[in-house]
Protein backbone atom coordinates (compact mmCIF):
# COMPACT_ATOMS: atom_id res chain seq x y z
CA UNK A 1 0.00 0.00 0.00
CA UNK A 2 1.12 3.53 -0.73
CA UNK A 3 1.68 5.88 2.18
CA UNK A 4 -0.14 8.92 0.78
CA UNK A 5 -3.67 7.52 1.21
CA UNK A 6 -2.85 6.54 4.80
CA UNK A 7 -1.54 9.99 5.62
CA UNK A 8 -4.60 11.58 4.06
CA UNK A 9 -6.95 9.42 6.12
CA UNK A 10 -5.06 10.13 9.35
CA UNK A 11 -5.31 13.85 8.67
CA UNK A 12 -9.00 13.53 7.80
CA UNK A 13 -9.94 11.87 11.08
CA UNK A 14 -8.02 14.27 13.29
CA UNK A 15 -10.30 15.66 15.99
CA UNK A 16 -10.18 17.32 19.40
CA UNK A 17 -11.21 15.15 22.35
CA UNK A 18 -12.15 16.40 25.82
CA UNK A 19 -13.56 14.35 28.70
CA UNK A 20 -15.44 16.61 31.13
CA UNK A 21 -15.31 16.20 34.90
CA UNK A 22 -18.77 14.61 34.86
CA UNK A 23 -17.52 11.96 32.41
CA UNK A 24 -19.04 13.24 29.15
CA UNK A 25 -16.81 12.63 26.12
CA UNK A 26 -16.75 15.62 23.75
CA UNK A 27 -15.39 15.05 20.23
CA UNK A 28 -15.08 18.01 17.87
CA UNK A 29 -13.82 18.19 14.30
CA UNK A 30 -13.58 21.86 13.28
CA UNK A 31 -14.06 22.16 9.51
CA UNK A 32 -13.38 25.80 8.58
CA UNK A 33 -14.90 26.84 5.30
CA UNK A 34 -17.95 24.61 5.64
CA UNK A 35 -21.27 26.39 5.98
CA UNK A 36 -22.96 24.11 8.50
CA UNK A 37 -22.59 22.14 11.71
CA UNK A 38 -23.75 18.63 12.51
CA UNK A 39 -24.04 17.57 16.16
CA UNK A 40 -24.80 14.16 17.67
CA UNK A 41 -25.61 13.58 21.34
CA UNK A 42 -25.65 9.85 21.95
CA UNK A 43 -25.85 7.28 24.70
CA UNK A 44 -24.84 3.63 24.92
CA UNK A 45 -28.42 2.48 25.38
CA UNK A 46 -30.27 0.49 22.74
CA UNK A 47 -32.99 -2.06 22.24
CA UNK A 48 -30.90 -4.98 23.57
CA UNK A 49 -30.55 -3.33 27.00
CA UNK A 50 -33.54 -4.96 28.68
CA UNK A 51 -32.05 -6.29 31.92
CA UNK A 52 -29.55 -4.33 33.99
CA UNK A 53 -28.69 -3.05 37.44
CA UNK A 54 -28.46 0.66 38.31
CA UNK A 55 -26.40 1.24 41.43
CA UNK A 56 -27.14 -2.37 42.39
CA UNK A 57 -30.91 -2.15 41.80
CA UNK A 58 -32.30 -4.66 39.26
CA UNK A 59 -34.32 -3.26 36.34
CA UNK A 60 -36.14 -5.41 33.76
CA UNK A 61 -37.76 -3.76 30.76
CA UNK A 62 -40.27 -4.87 28.12
CA UNK A 63 -39.07 -4.73 24.50
CA UNK A 64 -39.04 -1.30 22.85
CA UNK A 65 -38.25 0.98 25.81
CA UNK A 66 -35.08 2.55 24.33
CA UNK A 67 -36.94 3.51 21.15
CA UNK A 68 -39.94 4.74 23.16
CA UNK A 69 -37.67 6.87 25.34
CA UNK A 70 -36.09 8.39 22.23
CA UNK A 71 -39.51 9.68 21.18
CA UNK A 72 -40.34 11.01 24.63
CA UNK A 73 -37.10 12.99 24.94
CA UNK A 74 -38.42 15.59 22.50
CA UNK A 75 -41.18 16.54 24.94
CA UNK A 76 -40.76 18.80 27.95
CA UNK A 77 -42.86 20.87 30.30
CA UNK A 78 -42.18 23.99 28.23
CA UNK A 79 -42.90 22.58 24.77
CA UNK A 80 -41.77 20.32 21.96
CA UNK A 81 -38.07 20.29 21.02
CA UNK A 82 -38.84 20.07 17.30
CA UNK A 83 -40.68 23.39 17.55
CA UNK A 84 -37.68 24.92 19.32
CA UNK A 85 -35.28 23.64 16.66
CA UNK A 86 -37.56 25.07 13.96
CA UNK A 87 -37.11 28.53 15.47
CA UNK A 88 -33.32 28.27 15.15
CA UNK A 89 -33.56 26.89 11.61
CA UNK A 90 -32.01 23.55 12.57
CA UNK A 91 -33.10 20.20 11.14
CA UNK A 92 -33.34 17.76 14.06
CA UNK A 93 -33.82 14.02 14.26
CA UNK A 94 -33.06 10.95 16.39
CA UNK A 95 -32.67 7.20 16.04
CA UNK A 96 -32.41 4.07 18.16
CA UNK A 97 -30.41 1.00 17.19
CA UNK A 98 -29.65 -2.26 18.98
CA UNK A 99 -26.96 -0.70 21.20
CA UNK A 100 -27.30 3.09 21.10
CA UNK A 101 -29.66 6.06 20.93
CA UNK A 102 -28.62 9.29 19.20
CA UNK A 103 -30.14 12.76 18.98
CA UNK A 104 -28.87 15.08 16.27
CA UNK A 105 -29.28 18.28 14.33
CA UNK A 106 -27.81 20.06 11.33
CA UNK A 107 -27.68 23.85 11.29
CA UNK A 108 -26.17 26.73 9.34
CA UNK A 109 -27.18 29.47 11.78
CA UNK A 110 -27.85 29.93 15.50
CA UNK A 111 -25.67 26.90 16.23
CA UNK A 112 -25.10 27.82 19.87
CA UNK A 113 -28.84 28.03 20.46
CA UNK A 114 -29.38 24.66 18.79
CA UNK A 115 -26.69 23.08 20.99
CA UNK A 116 -28.50 24.46 24.03
CA UNK A 117 -31.75 22.84 22.89
CA UNK A 118 -30.06 19.50 22.18
CA UNK A 119 -28.32 19.30 25.56
CA UNK A 120 -31.30 20.46 27.60
CA UNK A 121 -33.87 18.16 25.98
CA UNK A 122 -31.81 15.06 26.75
CA UNK A 123 -30.75 16.07 30.24
CA UNK A 124 -34.13 17.31 31.46
CA UNK A 125 -36.49 14.35 30.93
CA UNK A 126 -40.19 14.83 31.53
CA UNK A 127 -42.65 11.92 31.64
CA UNK A 128 -46.25 11.58 32.78
CA UNK A 129 -48.74 8.75 32.41
CA UNK A 130 -50.85 10.89 30.09
CA UNK A 131 -48.01 11.65 27.68
CA UNK A 132 -46.90 8.02 27.77
CA UNK A 133 -50.43 6.81 26.95
CA UNK A 134 -50.50 9.17 23.95
CA UNK A 135 -47.10 7.99 22.69
CA UNK A 136 -48.10 4.34 22.99
CA UNK A 137 -50.74 4.91 20.34
CA UNK A 138 -48.35 6.75 18.03
CA UNK A 139 -45.58 4.14 18.25
CA UNK A 140 -48.14 1.36 17.93
CA UNK A 141 -48.94 2.69 14.45
CA UNK A 142 -45.22 2.83 13.64
CA UNK A 143 -44.82 -0.82 14.68
CA UNK A 144 -47.64 -1.83 12.34
CA UNK A 145 -45.86 -0.04 9.48
CA UNK A 146 -42.69 -2.06 10.15
CA UNK A 147 -44.79 -5.23 10.05
CA UNK A 148 -45.54 -4.42 6.39
CA UNK A 149 -41.84 -4.00 5.46
CA UNK A 150 -40.37 -7.17 3.86
CA UNK A 151 -36.79 -6.03 4.54
CA UNK A 152 -37.46 -5.48 8.23
CA UNK A 153 -39.45 -8.69 8.59
CA UNK A 154 -36.61 -10.60 6.92
CA UNK A 155 -34.02 -9.27 9.36
CA UNK A 156 -36.10 -9.84 12.49
CA UNK A 157 -36.91 -13.38 11.31
CA UNK A 158 -33.21 -14.09 10.79
CA UNK A 159 -32.37 -12.91 14.30
CA UNK A 160 -35.14 -15.02 15.81
CA UNK A 161 -33.78 -18.05 13.94
CA UNK A 162 -30.14 -17.47 14.88
CA UNK A 163 -30.64 -16.63 18.57
CA UNK A 164 -32.31 -18.53 21.40
CA UNK A 165 -32.43 -15.85 24.10
CA UNK A 166 -30.40 -12.78 23.09
CA UNK A 167 -32.63 -9.65 23.02
CA UNK A 168 -31.66 -8.98 19.39
CA UNK A 169 -34.60 -11.34 18.75
CA UNK A 170 -36.90 -8.45 19.68
CA UNK A 171 -37.92 -5.71 17.28
CA UNK A 172 -36.18 -2.42 18.13
CA UNK A 173 -39.56 -0.73 18.50
CA UNK A 174 -40.99 -3.63 20.51
CA UNK A 175 -44.56 -4.79 20.07
CA UNK A 176 -47.90 -3.12 20.76
CA UNK A 177 -48.22 -5.40 23.79
CA UNK A 178 -44.70 -4.74 25.14
CA UNK A 179 -44.84 -0.94 24.95
CA UNK A 180 -48.22 -1.01 26.70
CA UNK A 181 -46.28 -2.05 29.83
CA UNK A 182 -44.08 1.08 29.90
CA UNK A 183 -44.38 3.34 32.96
CA UNK A 184 -42.80 6.69 33.90
CA UNK A 185 -40.77 4.88 36.55
CA UNK A 186 -39.17 2.65 33.91
CA UNK A 187 -38.19 5.63 31.78
CA UNK A 188 -36.69 7.53 34.71
CA UNK A 189 -34.69 4.41 35.68
CA UNK A 190 -33.28 4.27 32.14
CA UNK A 191 -32.35 7.95 32.29
CA UNK A 192 -30.59 7.45 35.60
CA UNK A 193 -28.65 4.48 34.34
CA UNK A 194 -27.84 5.29 30.73
CA UNK A 195 -28.46 9.00 30.21
CA UNK A 196 -25.67 9.97 32.58
CA UNK A 197 -22.69 11.88 31.09
CA UNK A 198 -20.18 9.08 31.61
CA UNK A 199 -22.21 6.88 29.25
CA UNK A 200 -22.64 9.56 26.57
CA UNK A 201 -20.85 11.37 23.77
CA UNK A 202 -21.27 14.76 22.13
CA UNK A 203 -19.76 14.64 18.64
CA UNK A 204 -19.74 17.81 16.54
CA UNK A 205 -18.28 18.55 13.10
CA UNK A 206 -18.37 21.56 10.83
CA UNK A 207 -17.93 25.31 11.07
CA UNK A 208 -17.46 25.42 14.84
CA UNK A 209 -14.73 25.54 17.47
CA UNK A 210 -14.13 23.20 20.38
CA UNK A 211 -14.52 26.12 22.76
CA UNK A 212 -18.02 26.79 21.43
CA UNK A 213 -19.02 23.22 22.19
CA UNK A 214 -17.45 23.29 25.66
CA UNK A 215 -19.20 26.58 26.42
CA UNK A 216 -22.52 24.96 25.49
CA UNK A 217 -21.81 22.12 27.91
CA UNK A 218 -21.16 24.66 30.68
CA UNK A 219 -24.40 26.50 29.95
CA UNK A 220 -26.32 23.22 30.06
CA UNK A 221 -25.19 22.49 33.63
CA UNK A 222 -25.04 18.79 32.87
CA UNK A 223 -25.70 16.41 35.77
CA UNK A 224 -22.66 15.28 37.69
CA UNK A 225 -24.01 11.88 38.73
CA UNK A 226 -22.15 8.84 37.51
CA UNK A 227 -24.48 5.89 37.97
CA UNK A 228 -22.97 2.42 37.94
CA UNK A 229 -24.74 0.31 35.30
CA UNK A 230 -24.28 -3.44 35.03
CA UNK A 231 -25.80 -5.03 31.94
CA UNK A 232 -27.23 -8.53 32.33
CA UNK A 233 -27.23 -10.65 29.18
CA UNK A 234 -28.86 -14.11 29.01
CA UNK A 235 -26.78 -17.20 28.29
CA UNK A 236 -26.62 -17.81 24.55
CA UNK A 237 -25.36 -21.08 23.02
CA UNK A 238 -23.54 -21.13 19.68
CA UNK A 239 -26.21 -23.32 18.11
CA UNK A 240 -29.00 -21.72 16.08
CA UNK A 241 -32.50 -21.59 17.52
CA UNK A 242 -34.23 -22.56 14.27
CA UNK A 243 -32.44 -23.46 11.01
CA UNK A 244 -35.24 -22.40 8.68
CA UNK A 245 -38.32 -20.19 8.49
CA UNK A 246 -40.69 -19.46 5.62
CA UNK A 247 -43.75 -17.22 5.39
CA UNK A 248 -45.56 -15.07 2.83
CA UNK A 249 -46.23 -11.35 2.39
CA UNK A 250 -47.56 -8.97 -0.22
CA UNK A 251 -44.51 -8.60 -2.46
CA UNK A 252 -43.56 -9.04 -6.11
CA UNK A 253 -40.53 -11.30 -5.72
CA UNK A 254 -39.30 -13.69 -3.00
CA UNK A 255 -36.83 -12.42 -0.39
CA UNK A 256 -33.96 -14.57 0.87
CA UNK A 257 -31.96 -14.26 4.06
CA UNK A 258 -29.06 -16.50 5.07
CA UNK A 259 -27.46 -15.83 8.46
CA UNK A 260 -24.39 -17.29 10.17
CA UNK A 261 -23.94 -17.22 13.94
CA UNK A 262 -20.41 -16.60 15.26
CA UNK A 263 -18.46 -16.37 18.49
CA UNK A 264 -18.32 -12.61 19.25
CA UNK A 265 -15.10 -11.10 17.92
CA UNK A 266 -13.15 -8.37 19.71
CA UNK A 267 -11.00 -5.55 18.42
CA UNK A 268 -10.87 -3.32 15.36
CA UNK A 269 -8.86 -5.72 13.24
CA UNK A 270 -11.18 -8.68 13.78
CA UNK A 271 -14.23 -6.55 12.93
CA UNK A 272 -12.59 -5.16 9.79
CA UNK A 273 -11.72 -8.68 8.61
CA UNK A 274 -15.36 -9.72 9.07
CA UNK A 275 -16.63 -6.62 7.24
CA UNK A 276 -14.24 -7.37 4.38
CA UNK A 277 -15.45 -10.98 4.20
CA UNK A 278 -18.96 -9.88 3.22
CA UNK A 279 -17.50 -7.92 0.29
CA UNK A 280 -15.07 -10.69 -0.67
CA UNK A 281 -17.87 -13.25 -0.78
CA UNK A 282 -20.61 -11.45 -2.68
CA UNK A 283 -19.62 -7.80 -3.10
CA UNK A 284 -20.09 -6.05 -6.42
CA UNK A 285 -16.46 -6.67 -7.44
CA UNK A 286 -16.67 -10.46 -7.11
CA UNK A 287 -17.24 -12.89 -9.97
CA UNK A 288 -19.84 -14.64 -7.79
CA UNK A 289 -22.00 -11.52 -7.58
CA UNK A 290 -21.64 -10.90 -11.33
CA UNK A 291 -22.76 -14.48 -12.00
CA UNK A 292 -25.84 -14.05 -9.82
CA UNK A 293 -26.69 -10.72 -11.38
CA UNK A 294 -25.98 -11.66 -15.01
CA UNK A 295 -28.17 -14.74 -14.67
CA UNK A 296 -31.00 -12.59 -13.31
CA UNK A 297 -30.98 -14.42 -9.98
CA UNK A 298 -30.66 -11.35 -7.73
CA UNK A 299 -31.34 -7.63 -7.87
CA UNK A 300 -28.61 -4.98 -7.30
CA UNK A 301 -29.47 -4.77 -3.59
CA UNK A 302 -28.38 -8.31 -2.80
CA UNK A 303 -25.40 -8.35 -0.44
CA UNK A 304 -23.93 -9.14 2.95
CA UNK A 305 -23.34 -7.35 6.24
CA UNK A 306 -21.66 -8.10 9.54
CA UNK A 307 -23.02 -7.27 12.98
CA UNK A 308 -21.34 -7.46 16.37
CA UNK A 309 -22.93 -6.47 19.68
CA UNK A 310 -22.61 -7.50 23.32
CA UNK A 311 -23.14 -11.27 23.23
CA UNK A 312 -24.05 -11.28 19.52
CA UNK A 313 -22.04 -11.72 16.32
CA UNK A 314 -23.36 -12.73 12.91
CA UNK A 315 -23.12 -12.47 9.13
CA UNK A 316 -26.30 -11.74 7.16
CA UNK A 317 -26.76 -12.15 3.40
CA UNK A 318 -30.07 -10.78 2.14
CA UNK A 319 -31.91 -9.65 -0.96
CA UNK A 320 -34.63 -10.27 -3.50
CA UNK A 321 -34.30 -13.32 -5.73
CA UNK A 322 -36.61 -15.23 -8.03
CA UNK A 323 -34.84 -18.46 -7.07
CA UNK A 324 -34.13 -18.36 -3.31
CA UNK A 325 -33.23 -22.05 -2.95
CA UNK A 326 -30.78 -21.90 -5.86
CA UNK A 327 -29.13 -18.71 -4.62
CA UNK A 328 -28.81 -20.13 -1.11
CA UNK A 329 -27.09 -23.24 -2.46
CA UNK A 330 -24.77 -21.15 -4.64
CA UNK A 331 -23.87 -18.92 -1.69
CA UNK A 332 -22.94 -21.87 0.52
CA UNK A 333 -20.91 -23.39 -2.31
CA UNK A 334 -19.05 -20.12 -2.89
CA UNK A 335 -18.14 -19.83 0.79
CA UNK A 336 -16.88 -23.42 0.72
CA UNK A 337 -14.83 -22.71 -2.42
CA UNK A 338 -13.21 -19.67 -0.83
CA UNK A 339 -12.48 -21.74 2.25
CA UNK A 340 -10.60 -24.26 0.06
CA UNK A 341 -8.90 -21.89 -2.36
CA UNK A 342 -8.61 -18.63 -0.44
CA UNK A 343 -9.93 -15.22 -1.46
CA UNK A 344 -8.79 -13.68 -4.71
CA UNK A 345 -5.62 -11.58 -4.23
CA UNK A 346 -6.74 -8.88 -6.65
CA UNK A 347 -10.22 -8.61 -5.13
CA UNK A 348 -8.68 -8.46 -1.64
CA UNK A 349 -6.47 -5.51 -2.67
CA UNK A 350 -9.36 -3.74 -4.38
CA UNK A 351 -11.56 -4.25 -1.32
CA UNK A 352 -8.89 -2.88 1.00
CA UNK A 353 -8.34 0.16 -1.22
CA UNK A 354 -12.08 0.69 -1.46
CA UNK A 355 -12.32 0.76 2.33
CA UNK A 356 -9.66 3.46 2.46
CA UNK A 357 -11.54 5.42 -0.14
CA UNK A 358 -14.78 5.16 1.77
CA UNK A 359 -13.09 6.41 4.92
CA UNK A 360 -11.90 9.48 3.05
CA UNK A 361 -15.21 10.06 1.31
CA UNK A 362 -17.23 9.70 4.49
CA UNK A 363 -15.20 12.45 6.12
CA UNK A 364 -15.75 15.01 3.39
CA UNK A 365 -19.08 16.22 4.79
CA UNK A 366 -20.14 17.31 8.25
CA UNK A 367 -22.81 14.64 8.78
CA UNK A 368 -20.54 11.68 8.10
CA UNK A 369 -17.68 13.26 10.06
CA UNK A 370 -19.79 13.63 13.21
CA UNK A 371 -21.22 10.14 12.69
CA UNK A 372 -17.71 8.67 12.42
CA UNK A 373 -16.63 10.44 15.62
CA UNK A 374 -19.66 9.20 17.56
CA UNK A 375 -19.18 5.71 16.14
CA UNK A 376 -15.60 5.59 17.40
CA UNK A 377 -16.87 6.34 20.92
CA UNK A 378 -19.51 3.60 20.78
CA UNK A 379 -16.91 1.11 19.55
CA UNK A 380 -14.54 2.14 22.35
CA UNK A 381 -11.63 3.19 20.15
CA UNK A 382 -10.25 6.09 18.14
CA UNK A 383 -10.72 6.29 14.38
CA UNK A 384 -6.96 6.18 13.95
CA UNK A 385 -6.96 2.70 15.52
CA UNK A 386 -9.29 1.50 12.78
CA UNK A 387 -7.01 2.96 10.11
CA UNK A 388 -3.98 1.21 11.54
CA UNK A 389 -5.95 -2.02 11.84
CA UNK A 390 -7.05 -1.82 8.21
CA UNK A 391 -3.49 -1.19 7.08
CA UNK A 392 -2.27 -4.32 8.86
CA UNK A 393 -4.89 -6.76 7.53
CA UNK A 394 -3.43 -9.41 5.22
CA UNK A 395 -5.02 -11.82 2.76
CA UNK A 396 -3.70 -14.69 4.89
CA UNK A 397 -5.60 -13.43 7.94
CA UNK A 398 -8.82 -13.22 5.93
CA UNK A 399 -8.29 -16.76 4.64
CA UNK A 400 -7.67 -17.96 8.20
CA UNK A 401 -10.92 -16.39 9.41
CA UNK A 402 -12.78 -18.33 6.71
CA UNK A 403 -11.57 -21.60 8.20
CA UNK A 404 -13.65 -21.14 11.35
CA UNK A 405 -16.42 -18.70 10.35
CA UNK A 406 -19.50 -19.00 8.15
CA UNK A 407 -20.07 -22.67 8.94
CA UNK A 408 -23.25 -24.28 7.50
CA UNK A 409 -24.15 -25.93 10.82
CA UNK A 410 -24.38 -22.47 12.43
CA UNK A 411 -26.55 -21.01 9.67
CA UNK A 412 -30.24 -20.18 9.33
CA UNK A 413 -32.34 -19.51 6.24
CA UNK A 414 -35.42 -17.31 5.92
CA UNK A 415 -37.53 -17.10 2.76
CA UNK A 416 -40.45 -14.72 2.31
CA UNK A 417 -42.69 -15.85 -0.53
CA UNK A 418 -45.16 -13.61 -2.41
CA UNK A 419 -48.71 -14.29 -1.32
CA UNK A 420 -50.77 -16.35 -3.71
CA UNK A 421 -53.82 -14.71 -5.23
CA UNK A 422 -56.63 -14.93 -2.72
CA UNK A 423 -54.30 -15.83 0.18
CA UNK A 424 -55.18 -14.06 3.42
Let me know if 70 is a catalytic residue: yes
Give pLDDT, residue 271: 95
Write the DSSP string, 29-72: EE-TT-S-EEEEEEES--TT--EEEETTEEEE--TTHHHHHHHH
C-alpha–C-alpha distance, residues 7 and 1, integer Å: 12
Q: Is 414 left (phi over 0), alpha (psi -120 to 50) or beta?
A: beta
- Residue 236 within a domain: no
- Residue 6 within a domain: no
Q: Are residues 227 and 294 in the same domain?
A: no
Residues 6+ apart with CB under 8 A from 336: none
Q: Are residues 263 and 194 in the same domain?
A: no
- Residue 167 within a domain: yes
- Residue 2 within a domain: no
- Residue 5 within a domain: no
C-alpha–C-alpha distance, residues 275 and 273, integer Å: 5
- Residue 9 within a domain: no
Q: Are residues 210 and 281 in the same domain?
A: no
Q: What is the CATH number of the domain that holds 96?
A: 3.30.830.10
Q: Where are the alpha helices (DSSP H) in 195-286?
A: 210-220, 268-282
Q: Are residues 184 and 209 in the same domain?
A: yes
What SS3 class is residue 99?
Answer: coil
What SS3 class is residue 83?
Answer: helix
Query: Catalytic residue among 16, 21, 70, 320, which?
Result: 70
C-alpha–C-alpha distance, residues 328 and 413, integer Å: 8
Question: Of 414, 423, 379, 417, whose CA–CA distance to 157 is shortest?
Answer: 414
Question: Of 235, 226, 105, whose CA–CA distance to 167 is shortest?
Answer: 235
Give pLDDT, residue 143: 86
Give pLDDT, residue 140: 84
Q: What is the number of alpha carbons within 13 Å of residue 293 lying toward its C-beta?
A: 14
The structural domain count of the chain equals 2
Q: Are residues 262 and 126 in the same domain?
A: no
Domain end, chosen from 231, 266, 291, is at 231
Cβ(296)–Cβ(417) under 8 Å? no
Give pLDDT, residue 3: 53
| Tens digits of pLDDT across the chain (424 residues) | 445 555 655 666 678 999 999 999 999 999 999 999 999 999 999 999 999 988 888 889 999 999 999 998 988 777 789 999 999 999 999 999 999 999 999 999 999 999 999 999 888 788 888 888 888 888 888 888 888 889 999 999 999 999 999 999 999 999 999 999 999 889 988 988 899 899 999 999 999 999 999 999 999 988 776 778 888 888 999 999 999 999 999 999 999 999 999 999 999 999 999 999 999 999 999 999 999 999 999 999 999 999 999 999 999 999 999 999 999 999 999 999 999 999 999 999 999 998 888 877 778 899 999 999 999 999 998 888 888 898 899 999 999 999 999 999 999 999 999 988 666 5
Q: Are residues 219 and 261 in the same domain?
A: no
Q: Are residues 271 and 374 in the same domain?
A: yes
- Residue 269 within a domain: yes
Q: Are residues 331 and 381 in the same domain?
A: yes
C-alpha–C-alpha distance, residues 24 and 217, integer Å: 9
Pairing type for strands 411-418 and 244-249 reads parallel
Give pLDDT, residue 11: 65
**Alpha-carbon dihedral of residues 157, 160, 166, 168, nearest 10 degrees?**
10
C-alpha–C-alpha distance, residues 139 and 331, integer Å: 37
C-alpha–C-alpha distance, residues 236 and 239, integer Å: 8
- Residue 424 within a domain: no
Domain end, chosen from 231, 259, 275, is at 231
C-alpha–C-alpha distance, residues 285 and 283, integer Å: 5
Q: Are residues 86 and 201 in the same domain?
A: yes
Q: Are residues 212 and 278 in the same domain?
A: no
Residue ranges making up the domain that contains 413: 244-418
Domain end, chosen from 231, 252, 279, is at 231
Tell how far CA 65 is from the center of its chain.
17
C-alpha–C-alpha distance, residues 131 and 122, integer Å: 17
Q: Are residues 292 and 320 in the same domain?
A: yes
pTM of structure? 0.92
What residues does 230 pair with on adjacent strands? Answer: 53
Cα 419 to Cα 85, 269, 317, 345: the distances in Å are: 44, 43, 23, 43
Q: Are residues 76 and 198 in the same domain?
A: yes
Cβ(125)–Cβ(187) under 8 Å? yes
What residues does 104 pair with on adjacent strands? Answer: 40, 93
Q: Where are the alpha helices (DSSP H) in 148-230?
A: 150-162, 176-179, 184-194, 210-220
DSSP 267: S
Amino acid sequence: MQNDPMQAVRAAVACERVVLENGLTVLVRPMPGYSGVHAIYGTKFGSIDLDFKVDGQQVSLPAGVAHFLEHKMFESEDGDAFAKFAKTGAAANAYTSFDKTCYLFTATQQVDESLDILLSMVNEPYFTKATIDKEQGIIGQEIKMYDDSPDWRLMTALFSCLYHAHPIRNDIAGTVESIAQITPEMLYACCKGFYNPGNMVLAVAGNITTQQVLDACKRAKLPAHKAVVERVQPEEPLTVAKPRMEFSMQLAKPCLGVGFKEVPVQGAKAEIICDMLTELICGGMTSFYRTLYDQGLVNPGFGGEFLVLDGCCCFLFTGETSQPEQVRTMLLEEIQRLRREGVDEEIFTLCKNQTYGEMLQDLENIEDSATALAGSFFRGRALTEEIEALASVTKEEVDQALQTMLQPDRSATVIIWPKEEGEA
